[in-house]
Structure 1
Amino acid sequence: MLQTEAFGVSRKAGRGRHHMDAVLGVGMIEGVFGATPRAAEHRVAPVAKPFAVPLDPLADFGSWIVEFGVGAPLPAGNAVGPDRLGGKGAGLVAMARLGVPVPPGFTITTEAGRRMAAAGEAAQLPPAFEARIAEALARLEGRAGSRFGGTDAPLLLAVRSGAQASMPGMMDTVLNLGLNDRTVLALAARHGDARFAYDCYRRLIQTYAPVVLGVPGRVFDRLLDEFKDARGLLRDADLTAEDWQTLLPQFLAAVQAHTGQPFPQEPAAQLRAAILAVFRSWMNPRAVAYRALHAIPDSWGTAVTVQAMVFGNRGEDSGSGVLFTRDPSTGEPGLCGEFLANAQGEDVVSGIRDPDPLAARADDARADRSMERRLPAVYADLCAVSARLERAFGDMQDIEFTVESGRLFVLQTRSGKRSAAAAVRIAVDLADEGIISRRTAVERVDPQALDELLRPVLSPEAAPNAIATGLAASPGAATGRAVFTAEEAVRLAQAGVPVILCRPETLPDEICGMQAAVGILTARGGFTSHAATVARGLGRPCVAGARALRIEPEAGRMTIGTILVQAGDLLTIDGGSGAVLLGAAPLLTPQADGAVARLLAWTQAEGRRAEDPARIRA
């Protein structure tokens, strides 16, 4: 049983800016949903040292669980802010109240998260709290019409983290909980699709074993790659049910070899261990490093959301995607995002597969593979939901969604990370559209972030010399020495050497290397990949998904056709155009555009109004 309460410092710092009210029945949602994440991160209180107090044996564990979804009781408005439910949990409650289709579930609050963090690796769920979780799960089963661990209609669960401030990819997630050697057969029978069922089972092992059991994820990646190579297969989606049935025993044997124990077959034990592991991930090294970079207090803790799975890997009329309601690099209005058919969400954000576009643009050769062409009715629903969420939350939204057999579900909405240029244009446009006031627009843009608007860009005369082109994922241009590992990026940066971090795709563990680099280049991944999202949050130029590149980190080199780039060679990247160039290319300092001038004028006007004696007396 837990013995201490962790990080007991006051949460008042930031509560005013991170309080939900609008969609929950009071007014407009502020804070995490109503300000740009970069601005919020610069204003939070400094990291405080933890202290511990005894756990109250009469604690009301029921108050630590908030349910959401169709048929769930509606919690009181003051009990569902991001400071208590995390951004993910608060967003799910708000969306459910708006009538947006969200899979049902429940969120365990940050209060529980702080106590878990205080207990560290020894943390266990108190029996009384486990009983409350079991009660919430039973109600979820009733709403979902299926039973967790059942052999007729098995309910599968996702366990996700959710902090008050956005920390993309820094904490852990476990998907497809509840599968074992018995329930996988039931899932196959229920859907009439053995391939789908075994694909879900391998996904459970691939997330649960690294997060909960400490088995390196590369163990399963290597087994899968070797299997595909031996059969001449290119994509995971090319594997048949029989292929997965052949490969799964190898996955299970790898777990036994690394842990000395078989993969857990009891669904309740899987769920208990997953909840604890996700709580513990608040203190994993990459999460701690990310919070230090963004001045997010350790004292906040994370919430954990337990949610019914919806499946983007059911077939070609299913899929997963991520979108921004406006371009996070430029601020241009319109949906900007990516979609992968027959895939679960992690396939999109991890960058391991190149996604397809949402909209069918005439100038995009991938238009026929777009979601708009493949699933036009669902795409129309998504556009309507996205517009509704942006207006309700009063800010550009970063939305994760899944389509299961032609039906749309929204898994998360939050204020999207954006470049400084995008922050200015979005704030001005939202004010022009009447969604926010001019005063709010001024408050949305962090003055420190305005410095990024003067970040260099590639001279037009240099663009024809590009050796490769990728996605323009985060604006600005940078020149530096090519490095191929996060560790080398940190080492050289500490010596004062500017570096470009070149990776096949970035991993959350590489956050320190991304911070150290002056620019980021990846061969795989899209506009919503981990590399792109984190680069925008850090203010780093990024070119993602440069498919012509063959990056070999172990060898310290990359090739583009016959061109060889080795560690230490000079590179220039332009995150505004997606260009990659050899050597130091000429850069220009951009001029402030009309949106900046308008925002500065509003800033001066607001300053004069604030100094008006009549306003002061009021």
Structure 2
Amino acid sequence: MVQWVYNFGAGAADGRAEMKNLLGGKGANLAEMASIGLPVPPGFTLTTEVCTRFYEDKCTYPTELKGQVAKALARVEERSGQKFGDATNPLLLSVRSGARASMPGMMDTVLNLGLNDWTVAALAKRSGDRRFAYDSYRRFVQMYSDVVLGIELSHFEKLLERAKQRRGVKQDHELVAEDLEKLVMDYKARVHVEIGMDFPEDPHEQLWGAVGAVFNSWMNQRAKTYRQLHDIPESWGTAVNVQAMVFGNMGSDCATGVAFTRNPSNGANDFYGEFLVNAQGEDVVAGIRTPQELTIKARKSHGSDLPSLEEVMPNIFRELCTMRQQLETHYKDMQDIEFTIQQNKLYMLQTRTGKRTAHAALQIAVDMANEGLISKSQALMRLKPELIDQLLHPTLDPKAKKQVIAKGLPASPGAAAGKVVFSADEAVRRAKDGEKVLLVRIETSPDDIHGLHAAEGVLTTRGGMTSHAAVVARGMGRPCVAGAGAVQVDYAAARLSVGSVTVQEGQILTIDGVTGEVILGEVPTVPPQLSARCRRGPSSRLRPPWARLAAPCRWLRSWCRWWRPCRS
């Protein structure tokens, strides 16, 4: 019988990291982390072969799958000490995609699955916090309705705004339990209006609905666009990872975060990332709230008044630093990790090879070779020609006059100037007409992928260094300034304002992804310069194996910058 489901958790796993083609990147790495003793919540992975069969058989599953999922779910219940759908001690699940190639945010996720009117009461009693329970419930109903039932998020966002207005607050976390309980009722009523059916209360129905939605999301438009941009074959399919929920929004001793084991913007060997106290993971990556820094050094560097994780939870921070070192040593590359802290206990939810800029790729390759983590030949093979090409992008002329109107976080380096646009579709339309555009959003979403690709750079008013906009921009080599809170965006009027300065759609702005500056008009640029020692050139016999694939000047610049420090 074909094994369609692979288990992980409690220090053991059916799979390993090298099974990425079968388990997807996320599933393979969850299995690997569990195997090397990291604290991974228990779960199981439905393989990419299930996805392939799902599409070959007209969106139906292999006959053995249901039984294998039931056995795997029973093992998660055993390992977690909770029972799925139980009205006393309910197990809640996350359902996430995981293709073999990293596709950040392109496919769908459902969190807090298993909540209904009975299990939410049990969650409130077990946690001693009704607000947390109903906050989790309203998040689940909203996410499930969007991902599985296909109801526009805008319906729920309007109801959420109305609830905040009634309470007289501006932030979601300022709503109290009674507000959230009523909001759940309003959400469910909206579901009935939109689809003529009640929101599903049966946890098993919820689970299979979410699994089907994740498989279906492999063929959604944003996933197709991302695959086309990154040459990912459609035939690969995605895996689905079902995992016991851990909660970063259970109180002040809880948090969630995203981190890189090195700086993905410049390659420095610094722990780089962000977190939020009393929040769930999507709050960080979606840029809904501007997050806090991991380290004191980063907090001071970015001028943040909010305390870092190093200050708020020093013991957890030290534990996370140990895991950072363990993961880099094990995988021998910079890692992008997601973590949750539930009642002062750290859990690892993901690790994957981190996307980085060309400058960072070069620096990380040099440093890891010098540290003895990888060989020099391995380091050279990581420097792909298309990455090296990004090193030749111009930078702003330091002598030029500039009118800085705002400053945000330098999320992806480089300089970009273009006509301001406020939607991804408009960015694509103008770019096709030969115009250079700058995409300006309050926050980006995965649906903006085509606009991010078409734009010269991206500016957001919310979010941090690990937000969706920042991660995708770095992977594409696009400059990005995130979290420029002084910028007020009015989508309806197609304009932005900073104090007395107003910029209409079509006017030009410049962003500097190194300093985080937002500048009025177009600032002159200068081409990248070679240092004197670089112009001397490397030994021809040390020419890297991919050199002939790139233009001579491109190879010369990149090779000199790498080899000189590395061989010393």
Q: Which residue of 8, 27, 46 maps to 1:89?
A: 27
| SS of alignment partner, residue 107 of structure 1 | strand
What residue number does 2:251 align with? 315
Check conservation: 2:302, 2:409, Cα contact below 8 A: no
Check if 1:75 corresponds to 2:8: no
Q: Give the direction of change, closer, same or farther, for the CA distance of 1:331–1:155 in structure 2 (3 Å limit).
A: same
What residue number does 1:345 align with? 281
After TM superposition, list the pairs within 5 Å mapping 1:170-189 onto structure 2.
170-189=106-125
Give the TM-score taking structure 1 as reference length.
0.85
Cα distance, 1:387 vs structure 2: 1.2
Give the Cα separation in 2 of the matches to 1:601 and 1:534.
Answer: 36
Give the Cα separation in 2 of the matches to 1:76 and 1:396.
Answer: 22
Cα distance, 1:221 vs structure 2: 1.3
Give the Cα separation in 2 of the matches to 1:274 and 1:224.
Answer: 23
Check conservation: 1:425, 1:595, Cα contact below 8 A: no
The one-letter amino acid paired with 2:7 is E
Give the Cα separation in 2 of the matches to 1:595 and 1:407.
Answer: 50
Give the Cα separation in 2 of the matches to 1:113 and 1:379.
Answer: 38
Give the Cα separation in 2 of the matches to 1:386 and 1:293.
Answer: 31
Q: What's the CA shift string for 1:67-120, capped at 9, x where partnerless?
A: 011065x4365x95111111100111111111111111001110001122334x
Check conservation: 2:4, 2:68, Cα contact below 8 A: no
Q: Which residue of 251, 262, 276 maps to 2:198?
A: 262
| SS of alignment partner, residue 263 of structure 1 | coil
What residue number does 1:584 align with? 522
Check if 1:228 corresponds to 2:164: yes
Q: Which residue of 396, 411, 419 maps to 1:481?
A: 419
Q: Give the direction of change, closer, same or farther, for the CA distance of 1:599–1:350 in structure 2 (3 Å limit).
A: farther
Cα distance, 1:606 vs structure 2: 5.2
Give the Cα separation in 2 of the matches to 1:197 and 1:236.
Answer: 14
Give the Cα separation in 2 of the matches to 1:439 and 1:241.
Answer: 58
Cα distance, 1:596 vs structure 2: 8.5
Cα distance, 1:448 vs structure 2: 2.0
| SS of alignment partner, residue 334 of structure 1 | coil
Give the Cα separation in 1 of the matches to 2:444 and 2:534.
Answer: 32
Check if 1:64 corresponds to 2:64: no
Q: Which residue of 204, 216, 223 maps to 2:140?
A: 204
The one-letter amino acid paired with 1:381 is E
Q: Give the direction of change, closer, same or farther, for the CA distance of 1:503–1:559 in structure 2 (3 Å limit).
A: same
After TM superposition, list the pairs within 5 Å mapping 1:117-516 onto structure 2.
117-119=55-57, 123-361=59-297, 362-366=300-304, 368-462=306-400, 465-516=403-454
Higher relative contact order, chain-length normalized (CA < 8 Å, sep 6+): 1
Q: Give the direction of change, closer, same or farther, for the CA distance of 1:101–1:462 in structure 2 (3 Å limit).
A: farther
Check conservation: 1:507, 1:530, Cα contact below 8 A: yes
Give the unaligned 5+ runs of structure 2.
549-568
Check conservation: 1:458, 1:585, Cα contact below 8 A: yes
Give the Cα separation in 1 of the matches to 2:451 and 2:348.
Answer: 32
Give the Cα separation in 2 of the matches to 1:450 and 1:463.
Answer: 30
Check conservation: 1:70, 1:96, Cα contact below 8 A: yes
Give the Cα separation in 2 of the matches to 1:463 and 1:345.
Answer: 41
Q: What's the CA shift string for 1:122-172, capped at 9, x where partnerless?
A: 523345311110111011101110000001110000000001110000000
The one-letter amino acid paired with 2:311 is R
The one-letter amino acid paired with 1:241 is A
What residue number does 2:560 align with? none
Q: Give the direction of change, closer, same or farther, for the CA distance of 1:429–1:118 in structure 2 (3 Å limit).
A: same
Cα distance, 1:179 vs structure 2: 0.4
Check if 1:574 corresponds to 2:535: no
Q: Give the direction of change, closer, same or farther, for the CA distance of 1:219–1:302 in structure 2 (3 Å limit).
A: same
Give the Cα separation in 1 of the matches to 2:477 and 2:382.
Answer: 16
Check conservation: 1:159, 1:304, Cα contact below 8 A: yes
What residue number does 1:111 align with? 49
Check if 1:102 corresponds to 2:40: yes
What value does the CA root-mean-square deviation take over the aligned residues? Answer: 2.2
The one-letter amino acid paired with 1:194 is R
Check if 1:558 corresponds to 2:492: no
Check if 1:537 corresponds to 2:485: no
Give the Cα separation in 1 of the matches to 2:133 and 2:291.
Answer: 23
The one-letter amino acid paired with 1:75 is D
The one-letter amino acid paired with 1:493 is A
Q: Give the direction of change, closer, same or farther, for the CA distance of 1:90–1:596 in structure 2 (3 Å limit).
A: farther
What residue number does 2:456 align with? 518
Give the Cα separation in 2 of the matches to 1:536 and 1:400.
Answer: 18
Give the Cα separation in 1 of the matches to 2:303 and 2:86.
Answer: 45
| SS of alignment partner, residue 460 of structure 1 | coil
Give the Cα separation in 2 of the matches to 1:517 and 1:83.
Answer: 32
Q: What's the CA shift string for 1:203-249, capped at 9, x where partnerless?
A: 11111111000011121111111211232212211111111112111
Give the Cα separation in 2 of the matches to 1:185 and 1:597.
Answer: 70
Cα distance, 1:202 vs structure 2: 0.7
Give the Cα separation in 2 of the matches to 1:598 and 1:322.
Answer: 42
Check conservation: 1:106, 1:306, Cα contact below 8 A: yes
What residue number does 1:35 align with? none
* Aligned residue-pair number: 546
Q: Give the direction of change, closer, same or farther, for the CA distance of 1:75–1:126 in structure 2 (3 Å limit).
A: closer
| SS of alignment partner, residue 316 of structure 1 | coil
Give the Cα separation in 2 of the matches to 1:523 and 1:272.
Answer: 37
State the identity %. 52
Give the Cα separation in 2 of the matches to 1:603 and 1:343.
Answer: 54
Cα distance, 1:600 vs structure 2: 6.8
Check conservation: 1:71, 1:143, Cα contact below 8 A: no
Give the Cα separation in 2 of the matches to 1:522 and 1:333.
Answer: 26
Q: What's the CA shift string for 1:267-291, capped at 9, x where partnerless?
A: 0000011001101100000000000
| SS of alignment partner, residue 438 of structure 2 | strand
Q: Give the direction of change, closer, same or farther, for the CA distance of 1:165–1:320 in structure 2 (3 Å limit).
A: same
Q: Give the direction of change, closer, same or farther, for the CA distance of 1:514–1:364 in structure 2 (3 Å limit).
A: closer
Give the Cα separation in 2 of the matches to 1:493 and 1:505.
Answer: 21
Give the Cα separation in 1 of the matches to 2:194 and 2:540.
Answer: 60
Q: Give the direction of change, closer, same or farther, for the CA distance of 1:284–1:607 in structure 2 (3 Å limit).
A: closer
| SS of alignment partner, residue 271 of structure 2 | strand
Give the Cα separation in 2 of the matches to 1:530 and 1:595.
Answer: 38
Give the TM-score taking structure 2 as reference length.
0.92
Check conservation: 2:254, 2:278, Cα contact below 8 A: yes
Check conservation: 2:418, 2:436, Cα contact below 8 A: yes
